[in-house]
Structure formats: C-alpha cells, structure tokens
Amino acid sequence: MSPTAYAPPAPNTADPRRWPALFILLIANFMNLIDVTIVNVALPSMREGLGATDSQIEWVVAAYVLAFALGLLPFGRLGDIVGRTTLFLWGVAGFTIASALCGLSPNIEFLIVARVIQGLAGAMMTPQVLAIATVTFPPHERGQAFSLFGLSAGLASVCGPIVGGLLISAQLFGLDWQPIFLVNIPVGIAAVVAGYFLIPRLPGHSALKNDYVGIALFGAGIVMVVFPIVEGRAYEWPLWCFAMIVAGVASLIGFVLWTRARAKAGLPQLLNFDLIANRDFMFGAFVITVFASGIPGMFMVISILLQSGFGFSPLESGLTNTPFSVGVLLASFIAGRFGSRYLRGRLAASGALLAGGIGALHFIIASTGDTIDHWSFLPPLLLAGIGLGLGFSSLFQLVLRNVPHRDAGAGSGALQAFQQVGGALGVALVGEMFFGTLSSGFAAGNAPHAAFADAASFALWYQVGSFLLVLLLVPFFKKGGEQGQGQGRGAPAHVAIEV
C-alpha cells in the first residue's frame, strides 16, 4: 500500500477506505480523551512519587488543558494551510512522543513541560478529526459516522478512571503512575502507521495565512491570567501576581483591537471579529467558560481526598468516580433524542442537577469522620453526571443557533477553545481553595482526615456556585429556534466532554 492524494469521489461513490480511516480517527480521539480522566486518578501517586508541591500538581492538569485551549484555533487554521491529514498525523506522532516523555519524566518540572507538549499535540490533531470525516463520508453516512464519535467520548469518560486505577494498581514492571502515559506509545505508533496508508490525503491551501500576532496576544493574555492564580498562594500573593493579571487582561483587550483592525483590512483573524462583535455569541462563550470550569478541578480534589486523605487505592478511587461518567454517558444518549428541542429547559435542568448533586456531595464530605463510605458518593455523582451530559450539547446548540451559517465552523472551534480555557481557570481557582484550606487546616493542628474533608467540602462550593450561575443565566438566552428535529444549524456533531 502507499499513501494517495485525496480526490473528491464521483457522484454516488465513496472512498472505500473511509471506514478503516474512521477507526483510526476514533482510536486517536479516544487516546486523547481517555488521557484526561486517567491523569485525574493518578495525581496523588504523582504527587508522592515525584515530591510535587500543591501548585505543581495543579499544573499537571492545568498545563495540558491550557496548552490544548491555546492550540485549538491556530492549529485548526494550520490544518487548512498544510492539509488536514498531514497535521493530524503530526499531531498523533507528537502526542505519542509527549506521552513517552511524560512516562519517563525524572521530576515534576519535566512532567509539566511534557504535559504542555502533549496538550499542543492534542490540539493539533483534534480539529482535523471531524473535518476529515466530513469530507471522506457521503452525506447519507455522516450521521452514522459522527454518532461513533459521541460513543467513543462516552466510553472514554467511563473507562478512564477504571483503566487508570488498574494500570497504577498493577505496578507493571515495578512502575507506579508511569504506565498511564506509556500505554499510549504502541497505540499512537499503530495509528500513525495505519493512518499514513489509509487516511485520504486532504490537500492544504498554501495561500491561506495564520494570524500569528493574534495567537501571541491571546495566548499571552490567558497564560498571564491563569499563572498567578495557580502560583499566587505559594508566593503569598506578591504584587507581581496582580500586575500579571492586569497585563493579561490588557493583552486580551489588545487581541480584540488587533482582530478588529485585521477584519477592517480584510486579513485573516484567529477568531473572526464578526463573532467577537456578536453579543449573543460572546454571552454564550462566557456561559460555556463558567460551565466548563466546574468539572476538571472537582475530580482533582476528589482523587486527592480519597487517596491522600483516606488511603483509597487508585482503582478504588477510579471506581468511586465512575458513576459520574456513567451519568454523562446515559444523559448524552437521552439528549441526542431531543435534537434541538427544549434547549433552554435542558440547560436549566443541567445546572440544577449539577448544583444539586455536587451540593449533596459537599454535605456528605463535610460530615465525614475517619472513614468514607464510597457508596454514599454514588447518587450525587450519578445525578451530577446526568446534569453534565444533558447540558453540554444543549449549551453549544443554544450559542451556535444565533451564529450566521458562514461562521458556524469557526464558532464551534472557538467555543471548544473557551471550554478548555474555562477548565484551566477552574483548576486554578479550585486548587487555590482546596490547597489553601488544607494548609490552614494542618497549620491549625487538625487531624489529616478532618483537614482533607474540610478542604474538599469547601472547594466544592466553587462548583455549586458556577452551576447555579449557569442556571440563573439561562433566561438571558434568546428564545426561538428550539423546535427543529436535527441538531440545529451549526451545532457540532460531537462535543468532547472531559471529566
């Protein structure tokens, strides 16, 4: 076999390699999604094995999410320039190499840098996946093909905590947490080799350009806001932390002004200025940022609480978290049957279920003594998982229905970037609440069980507040356009729900 350039199929024909190619795309996407949940389970083992500080263990999560967020938009455009298939293969290869670096990390600093590379590689391959599937499948098969992406995302969310726990508990070759990354190496190599021969080559458009100044302004702004939130407590909040946040906001304002100037000149923009000027879209982007900020930090806290605070094994911790992922999977199937109907009602129900479930979990943890009954976590986590699965698809559709058709693709990519930015901010804020309270508890002489329980129950107030805010903002979404039977104009065929 040899790689061949893609040529549009003749009418009533389809590329015979489309289903094997789809399998490769699904495997790569699954590898990326499952990595998030596996890492959450492994955080306490990394903290102990590498002697990491509180802020460093936050960066293991935040570095990946932040790099992924900053890479989505520029790599989406770069795929248009150099070719989607080419960039996808580069991304999978980069993700595989970065996974090896993570697994071989000699210290926490090396691991954090490797996680940045892994996040950038994930952002390189992710935008190309649906674009390749869209072109290679005829219209009448796309629905069936795209449904498999939703299924793989659901399976990744369910399998991640369990697989992570099994890999760590097995102590393969005398290793501790390292196999959660090293297992990606054979999978990634197989995906690159098979993809090279089976995925049709989609030609790039070298005449297109990327907005590198916009990339720098947006990236610098987000990093300068997130970095001091993570590191501020370790340095006792010196003046430079607040100065950096102000500089970050100024950089984001500069990004908006730069993008407006590029739009007036008819030049390419990182984020279409029409979207920035669309108040409905920007309001929706804000809600998505708040919504997405609630989950990654929560599982960081729960994993550390169970393993470091109460001596759970990684497998026991993963199994305790599994009801949430099961709830996400069940609700995703149910939500798909509604199409684009009752979007505001579904989002309101989502906010209520998430706030209620996590609020109940707060009180369970707050009343904990010297032991935790893992079965008590099942009802609130299942309820919250149903809320998350119900909310993400309806939220994306609510925002995108007010976006002109010509901007739907850019809008969907931008919303996924805001989703990841929200996740990074959430990790930083929840980590500040959790580790700050934990340190205060130990300083006050509290017993370890009580200190961890107090810190975790306090940190969960952030999630309760963020989802209550989403619930309160639902009435401000415009009515109308919710009675169609499909997904709604411009709605993404698949939204990655990372837990």
The segments of the chain whose pLDDT lies below 70 read: 1-13, 147, 150, 405-409, 480-499
Could you give the domains of the chain?
15-209 (1.20.1250.20), 271-499 (1.20.1250.20)
The C-alpha atoms of residue 355 and residue 363 are separated, in whole angstroms, by 12
Which residues, including other chains, have CB under 8 Å from residue 232's CB and lie 6 or more apart? Answer: 241, 432
Q: Record the pTM.
A: 0.85
The C-alpha atoms of residue 460 and residue 305 are separated, in whole angstroms, by 12
Other CB atoms closer than 10 Å to residue 213's CB: what's the count?
A: 14
> How high is the pLDDT of residue 455?
95
Q: Assign residue 174 a region: left if phi > 0, alpha if psi is -120 to 50, beta otherwise?
A: left
> How high is the pLDDT of residue 485?
37
Cα-based angle 88, 282, 118 (whole degrees, multiple of 5)? 30
> How high is the pLDDT of residue 411?
78
The C-alpha atoms of residue 448 and residue 392 are separated, in whole angstroms, by 36
Type of residue found at 72: L
> How high is the pLDDT of residue 192?
94
> How high is the pLDDT of residue 457?
95
Question: For residue 41, what are the CA distances in angstroms to 308, 425, 436?
Answer: 11, 20, 21
